Amino acid sequence: MRTDLNARSRTLVAGTDRAGARAMLKAIGLTDDDLAKPLIAIANTWTEVGPCNFHLRRLSAKIKEGIRAAGGTPLEFNTVSINDGITMGTEGMKASLVSREMIADSIELVTRANYFDGVIALSSCDKTIPGTIMALIRLNIPSLMLYGGTIMPGHYNGKDIDLVTVYEAIGSYGSGKITEEELQAIENVACPGPGACGGQFTANTMANISQILGICPMGFGDVPAEDPKKDDIAYQAGQMLLKLIENDIRPDQLITRQSLENAIAAAAATAGSTNAVLHTLAFAREAGIDFTIDDIEAVSRRTPIIADLR
């Protein structure tokens, strides 16, 4: 077990020659005691543009509490986020996959520049999940990703509905089966609050994969965004990160060929998004693992669908 938990950040803040850096960090309220502790990055993908990541500042506050309770000093920064559900069908959707690379690059840059001792990445939509995981694999320092959780269902005429219901209603309106007023009534209640799209689409597929890989603690991603337990999980994640540093547990111990095969099996068994192919191949590339689309095909062919999660 390590005792030098701030070994990386000492490069940035220890010694008389680093007085200038300390002065600037004290300007934001940090003390000498804070700077002597492990410095933990919270890489957030919060945005007001859509429900998926809208609640991540709330979770970040709880993560900070957990980090402080475990003896660390949290420092938060934000990166970009593109909402596929909002941009698709427009030229804006061309920015979606590009954003995955920007997310990975920006987290890597900020973390390397500031010598953080560990990282918690917060993500909750289609490209932020793989983008944050790619960054953590590259950095290969003690780290984890916390998924913000899925949205709750909306309710209309006594039934649960979701975003897919809206798209179905658009078709029904176009074919004259419902009125524009009925379409708007469905639109108004389909997404009742924050959280990722409710279904086994890309976000929830990748959240499942993140748990199978071990980069998101098992069970942490299953709790919906607005479940009261989510705040407790965020607090626990903050505490857990310090344990990862103590035990020097890094992504290269988690992201292996076997864990990638398991991740694809989990996606296949739950009829997950085919975007899992795109993103797991990116994980393998970042980790330097020989894992190809042919391997994904082989795993998928031998894996039955055992859960219909829509």
My answer on whether 65 and 187 are in the same domain is no
Total domain count for the chain? 2
278 φ/ψ angles, rounded to the nearest 5 degrees: -55, -45
Residue 222: pLDDT band (50, 70, 90) is: very high
My answer on whether 166 and 247 are in the same domain is no
Query: Residue 8 contacts by C-beta under 8 Å, 6 or more apart in sequence?
Result: 39, 115, 116, 117, 141
Query: Residue 39 contacts by C-beta under 8 Å, 6 or more apart in sequence?
Result: 6, 8, 9, 12, 13, 72, 73, 75, 114, 115, 116, 117
My answer on whether 205 and 81 are in the same domain is yes
My answer on whether 225 and 141 are in the same domain is yes
My answer on whether 47 and 98 are in the same domain is yes
CATH number, domain containing residue 20: 3.40.50.2300
Rounded Cα–Cα distance for residues 255 and 209 (Å): 11
pLDDT at 300: 98
Identify the DSSP state of 207: H
Question: Within 10 A of 301 (CB to CB), how many other CB atoms are there?
Answer: 8
My answer on whether 126 and 42 are in the same domain is yes
Domain boundary among 252, 273, 297: 252
Q: What is the residue range of 161's domain? A: 153-192
- Confirm whether 293 is domain-assigned: no
* CB-facing half-sphere around the CA of 242: CA atoms within 13 A: 20
If you average pLDDT over residues 107-121, what whole number do you get? 99
- Confirm whether 26 is domain-assigned: yes
Give the rounded percent of residues in the chain with a pLDDT score beyond 70: 100
pTM for the model stands at: 0.96
- Confirm whether 283 is domain-assigned: no
Is residue 173 over pLDDT 80? yes
Domain boundary among 252, 269, 293: 252
My answer on whether 104 and 227 are in the same domain is yes
pLDDT digits (tens, 9 = 90+) for 277-293: 999 999 999 999 999 99
- Confirm whether 109 is domain-assigned: yes
My answer on whether 51 and 172 are in the same domain is no
pLDDT at 64: 99
pLDDT at 309: 80
- Confirm whether 60 is domain-assigned: yes
My answer on whether 107 and 201 are in the same domain is yes
My answer on whether 168 and 55 are in the same domain is no
Domain boundary among 219, 252, 285: 252
Residue 308: pLDDT band (50, 70, 90) is: confident
- Confirm whether 298 is domain-assigned: no
- Confirm whether 213 is domain-assigned: yes
My answer on whether 178 and 209 are in the same domain is no
pLDDT digits (tens, 9 = 90+) for 16-70: 999 999 999 999 999 999 999 999 999 999 999 999 999 999 999 999 999 999 9
Residues 61, 64, 66: CA angle, nearest 5 degrees: 115
pLDDT at 76: 99
Is residue 1 over pLDDT 90? no
Query: Residue 234 contacts by C-beta under 8 Å, 6 or more apart in sequence?
Result: 59, 60, 62, 63, 66, 146
Q: Where would I find the beta strands (DSSP E) of 28-166? A: 39-44, 73-78, 118-123, 143-147, 154-156, 159-161
My answer on whether 182 and 231 are in the same domain is no
Q: Which of the two residues, 163 and 310, has the higher pLDDT score? A: 163
Identify the DSSP state of 153: P
pLDDT at 28: 98
- Confirm whether 173 is domain-assigned: yes
